[in-house]
Structures are given as structure tokens and as C-alpha cells.
Amino acid sequence: MSDWVDVVAENALANGEHAVVDVDGTEVAIFKIDGQFYAIEDVCSHDRAEIASGELEGDEIVCPRHGARFCVKTGKVLCAPAYEDIACFPVRIDKGTVQVRDDRWD
């Protein structure tokens, strides 16, 4: 089982903000939406562009290169030109620190 990785202090991000961190060699975008934290792989499944630098609209992130949309909460693709979901990671808060783990290989 993969280990939990400390990524950011719980109070470091305001609602609508994000941070990109390395979790076991994978770039992961951490978003804070309505007081909750969500983590997705920082890559568009369409062309491998970094997704976190795109526009956040509610709980959707828009790829800055070609406009594909993904749900930040689930990693589900919402519109073309992407057709594959992106990885979504478990998040927890431990003693004021947001933690993420890459459970894809568990």
C-alpha cells in the first residue's frame, strides 16, 4: 500500500486556489473547493499538458491548451477533445496537513 504524503498545510490555500506537488514521482494538483480538498494528476489526457494552470470553473478545470474539461472531484472527462479520465487521488487531513497518496498500484 502506498504511503500518505504531506502536501500542503490545511490553511495554506483559499477556496478556488490550488498547488501542484510531487507525490511519488507524479505531479498532482491539489484544489480547495468549498472548504474541501481534491487531488488529480496534473496532466490533460488529451495532449499531456499541465492541467492545473487552466481556468477553474466551479468543480471543473479547463485545459489551457485545447479546452478539454475535467471534474476536479473525480477526474472524469467532461468534454472533448479529451476522451479519457485523469487520475484522482485520495486526500485526507492529518493534524492540519493535507495528505495525498497514489493508490493506483495498491
pLDDT in tens, 69-101: 999 999 999 999 999 999 999 999 999 999 999
Set out the domains of the chain in order of their start, with CATH numbers: 5-100 (2.102.10.10)
Name the 3-class secondary structure at 89. Answer: strand
Beta strands in 1-94 (DSSP E): 5-9, 18-23, 26-33, 36-41, 55-57, 60-62, 69-71, 77-79, 88-89, 91-94
Nearest to 38 by CA among 72, 14, 66: 72
Q: What confidence tens digit (pLDDT) does each residue in 16-70 have? A: 999 999 998 999 999 999 999 999 999 999 888 899 999 999 999 999 989 999 9
Torsion over CA: 66, 14, 2, 90 (sign): negative
Report yes or no on whether pTM surpasses 0.85: yes
